[in-house]
Amino acid sequence: MTPSVKNLIEAWQDASDALRECAIEALCTALPGLGRSATPAYCCPVTLHIDKPGDLGEGRVCVDDDGRATIEITDIPVAVLGDAVDAVFGEGWFDEAEGPLTEEDPGEFHYDDEMTGAEWIVELGTDGLGKVHIECVPVPSAAELLDAIATARAEQQGTQPAAGTEDAGTLTA
């Protein structure tokens, strides 16, 4: 390999690594309590988890080498999840939903994004808790949804969401 090609590949790798770190920071800032965890061998290069499950759900977010995220979070209050999804997409965006998600009966709601290839599933449970599973969504869209979840929860609790504070996420090496 010629030195110029080798140098450009190294520059590309450095830029790719920097982009991944920015993605991690954006996701962890969007959903306070989300932080790095061990990555299983079968998973994406980066796995983030909610280190204090409860108020905003329980689960993980994975980031692949192509700048896409997979979100799997359960135990999110239905009112929070519905408000967050409607804030990001607008009302009635998902298949099976005719209006605001918070007014829908329990069940699964789907959306396949033909532009990005992302597959969204939102489930509203009968126990007042819901879950979200999103495959291969661009990191900015993932961060937008996670931020909307944190914002909806803060609004429902009558508190202010953490606004860009350094300790909003729990990034660890």
Residue 167: which pLDDT band, with cuts at 50, 70 and 90?
very low
Tally of CB atoms within 10 A around 24: 21
Q: Residue 153 belongs to a domain with what CATH number?
A: 3.90.1150.20
Q: How many domains does the chain have?
A: 1
Domain, as residue range, for 56: 3-157
Give a yes or no: residue 116 inside a domain.
Answer: yes
Domain presence at residue 170: no
Position 165 in a domain: no
Give pLDDT tens digits for 95-115: 888 888 888 999 999 988 888
Report pTM: 0.84
Dump pLDDT digits (tens) for 17-44: 999 999 999 999 999 889 888 777 677 7
Quick check: is 99 in a domain?
Answer: yes
**Residue 172 domain-assigned?**
no
Classify residue 168: in a domain, yes or no: no
Domain-located, residue 74: yes
List helix spans (H) across 31-94. 78-89
Residue 173 resides in a domain = no
Of 39, 35, 23, give the one whose Cα is nearest residue 140.
23
